[in-house]
Structure 1
Amino acid sequence: MKLYEQLPELDGATVWLNGRCEKADLVGSRPTLIHFWSISCHLCKEDMPYMINLRSRYKGRLNVIAVHMPRTEDDLNLQQIKKVAAEHNITHPICVDGELILTDAFENRYVPAYYVFDKNGQLRHYQTERSGMSMLKKRVDRLLNEMNR
């Protein structure tokens, strides 16, 4: 995805965990952070405490959605996805993208990957890996400050 493109529809999930979300639920009220992860990704698991902290810090001001992107056949095991999600306290909605439909809609190829959309659903920040987790927080803060003007 390119900056300022619209949030894609959240269609094609194999299953939703912790509640289902539609694009209409996310656009119009507050910014949205969508993070792609996989149970076979070591960096994803290392970053998850940061994601959980971010989710808690901005509770009620930021939508947070996880997309589980399988990288191997083993990543399709729904019971294992549920287990890892519980171990890492992922209580926000998780789209299990078993057929890579949402992954393709985002043109995403990496985990972890982070997409930040403004309240109107426009992509305002994208990053992969964890090299810029402080930048992710800064981008979210900037969008929240824009809303308060």
Structure 2
Amino acid sequence: MKLREQMPELTGATSWINDEVTKEDLVGDKATLIHFWSVSCHLCKEAMPEVNDLRDEYDDQLNVVAVHMPRSEDDLDMGVIEAMAMGHDITQPIYVDSEHKLTDAFENKYVPAYYVFDKEGQLRHFQAGGNGMPMLRKRINRVLGEE
């Protein structure tokens, strides 16, 4: 995705965990952080406490949605995905993307990956990799400060 592009529709999930949300639920009220992760991704597990801190700290200003992007056949087991979500306190809605429909819509190739959208649903920041949480927080603050 390119900066300023509109958030894709959140359709095509093979399953949802915790709650199901639509683009319409997210756009118009708050900024949104969509983060891609995988059960087989060590960096994702390391970053999850910081993602959860962002979710909790900005609860009234920021929507947070997790997207589980499988990297191999081993990542398709719903029991493993659900156990990992519970074990890592992922309480936000989780879009399970076993068919890579949302992954393709985002043109995403990485886990972890983070997409920050403003409240109008425009992409304002993208980053990938396990490091850079201070930068992600800075970009979220910038988007929130504009609203």
Band the TM-score falls in, shorter-chain normalisation: over 0.9
| Alpha-carbon distance, 1:144 to partner | 1.0
| Alpha-carbon distance, 1:131 to partner | 2.5
Amino acid at match of 1:102: L
Q: How does 1:22-41 map to 2 (within 5 A)?
A: 22-41=22-41
**Is there any run of 5+ residues in structure 2 with no aligned partner, and where?**
none
Amino acid at match of 1:19: D
In the comparison of the two structures, how many residue pairs are matched?
147
- Equivalent residue number for residue 125 of structure 2: 125
C-alpha distance after superposition, 1:54-95 (max 9, x if no partner): 111101110000000000101000000000000000000000
SS at match of 1:35: strand
Q: Is the 8 A contact 2:112 2:129 kept in 1?
A: yes
> In 2, distance between residues paired with 1:46 and 1:8?
27
TM-score with structure 2 setting the length: 0.99
TM-score with structure 1 setting the length: 0.97
- Equivalent residue number for residue 83 of structure 1: 83
> In 2, distance between residues paired with 1:107 and 1:94?
18
> In 2, distance between residues paired with 1:19 and 1:55?
15
Query: Is 1:20 aligned with 2:55?
Result: no
C-alpha distance after superposition, 1:38-57 (max 9, x if no partner): 00000000000000111111
Identical aligned residues as a percent = 63
**CA RMSD after TM alignment:** 0.5
User: Which runs of at least 4 in structure 1 moved beyond 3 Å after TM superposition?
Assistant: none
Amino acid at match of 1:131: N
